[in-house]
Amino acid sequence: MFPSARVFLLAGSVVRGETTRYSDIDLVVVFECFEHAKRQSFTFADWPVEAFIHDPKTLE
């Protein structure tokens, strides 16, 4: 889904082992250069995913 991304970070309750029936996967995706930070929601393997898409400048 993000083949040119440089870094992926997983965060949130699923990663901490505190999953509930309302949990989603929080994913930070970092590109070398990305004009505007954005948020993208989708489902992967029956899990809701919230992707926060950045480059190094928008992470500051």
Q: The CATH number of the domain where 48 resides is what?
A: 3.30.460.10
The domain tally of the chain equals 1
Instruction: Provide the domain limits for residue 54.
Output: 7-59
Instruction: Provide the CB-side half-sphere exposure for 5 (13 A, CA).
Output: 14
Summarize pLDDT for 3-59 with one digit per residue, the tens: 999 999 999 999 999 999 999 999 999 999 998 999 999 999 999 999 999 999 998
Q: For residue 39, how many other CB atoms are within 10 A of its CB?
A: 8
Q: What is the pLDDT of residue 25?
A: 97
DSSP tag of 52: E
Residue 1 has pLDDT above 90, yes or no: no
Q: Cα–Cα distance between 52 and 34 in angstroms, integer?
A: 12
Distance CA 42, CA 36 (A): 19
Inside any domain, residue 21: yes
| 24 domain residue, yes or no | yes
Please report whether residue 19 resides in a domain: yes
Over the stretch 13-25, which tens digit does the pLDDT of each residue have?
Answer: 999 999 999 999 9
pLDDT at 38: 97
- Note whether residue 16 is domain-resident: yes
Q: Residue 9: which of 31, 27, 24 has the closest Cα?
A: 27
